Amino acid sequence: MSLIEVHNLERIFTVRKRSGRFRRTASEVRAVHDLSFQIDAGEMVGYIGPNGAGKSTTIKMLTGILVPTSGHLRVAGLDPSARRTDLARRIGVVFGQRTTLWWDLPLRDSFELLRKIYRVPPERFVHNLAEYVELLDLGDLLDTPVRQLSLGQRMRGDIAAALLHDPEILYLDEPTIGLDVISKGRLREFLRTLNRERGTTLLLTTHDLQDIEALCDRVIVIDHGTAVFDGPLSELQRGDGSSRTLVVDLVDEAPAIEVAGAVTRKVEGPRQWLSFPAHVSAAPIVAAVAASYDLADLSIHEPDIEDVILDLYSR
């Protein structure tokens, strides 16, 4: 049996809107529809999709905060909403947008309180705390009130807090939002180490494709509440549809550039957008364009999640 089992999961929300002075119309929103997947212990899974796709809703159902409308859902053999407190001991959750720490007290106090709540044996706690303090560089921050921490520092604190009790599963809901590039890199490194050394199962929802590239072997893409892709990341990106964009600023306006290996999608004054397959190197194309035209500037845009999904649909 897998650690996380999801079969035909449905979650319908009834949204009431005011139509006119006193009337209300109710409409149904299918946040999650016919969702199925299985995750085994030790996997690192990326859960991606556009805004409103149903990512947070799924996490809420997996952690027992939200009850599914229908379908089968088991985490570590337990029904999350029915056995919420039992399951809570075995999972850790990091909400990107809000903290689980106590705002007005030093970080250390939050950790101490969590130790009591999760009933972590003292030696285990001391060991874990020391390890995470070192790995997440929290040493100087332990005595700072949480409200005075920067976003990145608070995020690291949240992660340590989620791991102090050795959970089998760690859910991360948009953990790198708002972080600078360096913090993101350090965080990704930490999560890789965690999975490698402790076998913690990771389920990461994100809007950031680079998080996925750095961390996840497996990716589940969700759009409009349904899984549209479930497989290795490499398979996702090497698909025919995925393409990158070369944005070229010419010195003078010119008709659409013609160059081997790329298709010009848009021309606006001296700027042109060229599309080419994502897995192909940009170098020959850049060289070809530079050889035939006077360039003022150019840049390469990675495919973002919207493009990836649009491509998935077009296949």
Partner 1 sequence: MAEPTKGLTRAVADYRAIAAMWVRAALAYPASFWTMSLGSAAITGLDFVAIWLMFHTIDSLGGFGLAEIGLLYGATGLGLGVADLLIGSVERIGDHVRRGTLDAMMVRPVSLLVQVCADEFQPRRLARIAQTGLVFGWAATYVDWTVPRVLVAVEMVVAGSVIFFCLFVIFSCLQFWTSEASEFANAFTYGGNTVTQYPLTVFPKELVKSLTFLLPLAFVNWYPCLYLLGRDDPYGMPGWLRFASPVPAVLLCGVTALVWRRGVRHYTSTGS
- Binding segment (CB under 8 A) for partner 1, from list 105-113, 196-204, 215-223, 302-310: 105-113
- CB neighbourhood size of 49 (10 A): 26
In the complex, minimum distance from the CB of residue 92 to partner 1, in angstroms, rounded to a whole number? 8
Contact 10, 32 (CB under 8 A): yes
Decide: helix, strand or coil at residue 163.
helix
CA distances from 187 to 68, 98, 99, 173, 279 (A): 32, 17, 16, 14, 26
Interaction between residue 124 and partner 1 (CB under 8 A): no
Q: Which C-beta is closer to partner 1: that of 147 or that of 238?
A: 147
Interaction between residue 98 and partner 1 (CB under 8 A): yes
C-alpha to C-alpha distance for 168 and 162, rounded to whole angstroms: 11
Contact 76, 70 (CB under 8 A): no
Q: Which C-beta is closer to partner 1: that of 112 or that of 213?
A: 112
Interaction between residue 142 and partner 1 (CB under 8 A): no
Interaction between residue 109 and partner 1 (CB under 8 A): yes
Per-residue binding letters, 50-69, with partner 1 (x by CB under 8 A): -------x--x--xxxxx--
Among 93, 159, 172, 220, binds partner 1 (CB under 8 A): 93
- Binding segment (CB under 8 A) for partner 1, from list 1-9, 95-103, 253-261, 307-315: 95-103
Whose CA is closest to 307, among 218, 212, 228, 242?
A: 242
In the complex, minimum distance from the CB of residue 62 to partner 1, in angstroms, rounded to a whole number? 10
Among 42, 71, 78, 102, binds partner 1 (CB under 8 A): 102
- Binding segment (CB under 8 A) for partner 1, from list 89-97, 146-154, 273-281, 293-301: 89-97
Q: How far is CA 109 from the centre of its chain?
A: 29
Contact 175, 96 (CB under 8 A): yes
In the complex, minimum distance from the CB of residue 4 to partner 1, in angstroms, rounded to a whole number? 15
In the complex, minimum distance from the CB of residue 22 to partner 1, in angstroms, rounded to a whole number? 16
- # residues contacting partner 1 (CB under 8 A): 30
Q: What are 272's strand-pairing partners?
A: 248, 267
Return the structure tokens found at 130: 């020391």
Interaction with partner 1 in 275-314: which residues (CB under 8 A)?
A: none
Interaction with partner 1 in 12-31: which residues (CB under 8 A)?
A: 13-14
Among 104, 123, 197, 268, binds partner 1 (CB under 8 A): 104
Contact 179, 155 (CB under 8 A): yes
Q: Which C-beta is closer to partner 1: that of 33 or that of 218?
A: 33
Among 28, 40, 86, 294, binds partner 1 (CB under 8 A): 86
Question: Looking at the chain, how many residues does it have?
Answer: 315
Among 19, 27, 85, 314, binds partner 1 (CB under 8 A): 85
Q: Which C-beta is closer to partner 1: that of 171 or that of 229?
A: 171
Q: Which residues have CB under 8 Å from 98's CB, separation 6+?
A: none
CA distances from 9 to 6, 57, 254, 286 (A): 6, 11, 53, 47
Map 30-60 to HEC letters.
EEEEEEEEEECCCCEEEEECCCCCCHHHHHH
Interface with partner 1 (CB under 8 A): 13-14, 57, 60, 63-67, 81, 84-86, 88-89, 91, 93, 95, 97-100, 102, 104-105, 109, 113, 116-118
